[in-house]
Amino acid sequence: MIDIKLIRDNPELVKANIKKKFQNNKIPLVDEIKKKDEEWRKLKIESDTLRASRNKISIQISELKKAKKDASNLLKEAKKIPDNIAKAENRMFKLEDEIYSLLQQIPNIIHESVPL
């Protein structure tokens, strides 16, 4: 199976390899994989950012409680974050499955010495 990094870094090489194998119907799969991978990477950044935000808010809440101040606004905000993380991760898992099944359809790179 082709490594996703090869498609990220050099999709034209993968497409040229597919042409060499006369499997032109699989060329659009490369663009589809790249598109889904970009979406996955955006969701990964989003979920990581949400986790960082949750950690920051948790620290702020504990500081407010130690100072015996009202933290209700931060608590409301903190309760929304896990749902957003779960949504992003669910979409990420679906994308991972889709990418994996598409990657299985892409043929391996043939060596330069192999004749057409």
Domain map (residue ranges) of the chain: 4-103
Gap between the Cα atoms of 53 and 85, Å rounded: 11
Average pLDDT, stretch 94-108? Answer: 95
The pLDDT tens digits for 36-65 are: 999 999 999 999 999 999 999 999 999 988
- Which whole-number Å values give the CA distances from 37 to 15, 25, 31, 116, in the listed order? 17, 20, 10, 31
Provide the CATH number for the domain formed by 4-103 in this structure: 1.10.287.40
pTM above 0.85, yes or no: no
